[in-house]
Amino acid sequence: MKPLASTLLALTLATALPVSHAQQHASPAVPGYAYGQPTLAKAPYTLADLQALQKSLLFTEEDVKALRQSKAILADQTDAILEVWYGFVGATPELVHFFSNAKTGKPEGAYLEAVRKRFVLWVLDTADANYDQKWLDWQYEIGLRHHRTKKNKTDRAPSVAQVNFRYIPALTIPITTTLKPFLAKKGASAADVEKMHAAWVKSVLMQSILWSQPYIKDGAF
């Protein structure tokens, strides 16, 4: 094959093949973002456990399609989405407490900002809807970082010891309710907006359930 033809073929393949997670948003500039890293502990729940949970949530391939459809809509709105979410957290003392200094009780600005950068990537990861072992291990790590096991360690934050469990599944509602207007901003049909929103509700609840594992007694999860 001539060099020019070989180059053209390589360019064609590069644009035609699916983009990997790492290529989509490899983020060395976001400290603590470790999705896909070999250093992560293996999740104590399996892909079969995940599939069983998805069945219980009525989570289907249609939801996967809807989540992936949402990515193109949300990708350039993440800053605005985080403004809304952080506004809600900041206005809710019960929630901002978990970002506060353990001694003074005042919000830790650097900690809030560090988490915010990873939160943006969480939006994109949720919309990617790639449910493999790497994703499962990352969910386990996120759960550990909410629990006293690893909270504050990633950012060396002088904050309170853990996020109390009851607030984790509860946040499904404000997260997904406030997301819906953003899903409707790019001209998607009302039916598609409803499908995407329903998929987000299921996905966020599914993730919050997985994050709860460190809080649950052995054998009870």
Tokens of 15: 């644009």
Classify residue 42 as left (phi > 0), alpha (psi -120 to 50) or beta: beta
Cα within 13 Å of Cα(64), Cβ side: 7
Answer yes or no: is pLDDT of 96 > 70: yes
Q: Where are the domains of the chain?
A: 48-215
Q: What are the tens digits of pLDDT across the range 183-210?
A: 999 999 999 999 999 999 999 999 999 9
Per-residue confidence at 20, pLDDT binned at 50, 70, 90? very low
Answer yes or no: is pLDDT of 144 > 80: yes
CA torsion through residues 130, 136, 139, 145, sign: negative
Answer yes or no: is pLDDT of 7 > 70: no
Paired residues of 101 in beta bridges: 159
Q: Class for domain 48-215, per CATH?
A: mainly alpha
Fill in the amino acid letter for 129: A
Q: What are the tens digits of pLDDT across the range 56-84?
A: 999 999 999 999 999 999 999 999 999 99
Answer yes or no: is pLDDT of 217 > 60: yes
Helix extents (H) in the chain: 3-16, 21-25, 47-56, 61-74, 78-90, 93-96, 109-128, 133-146, 167-170, 172-183, 190-211
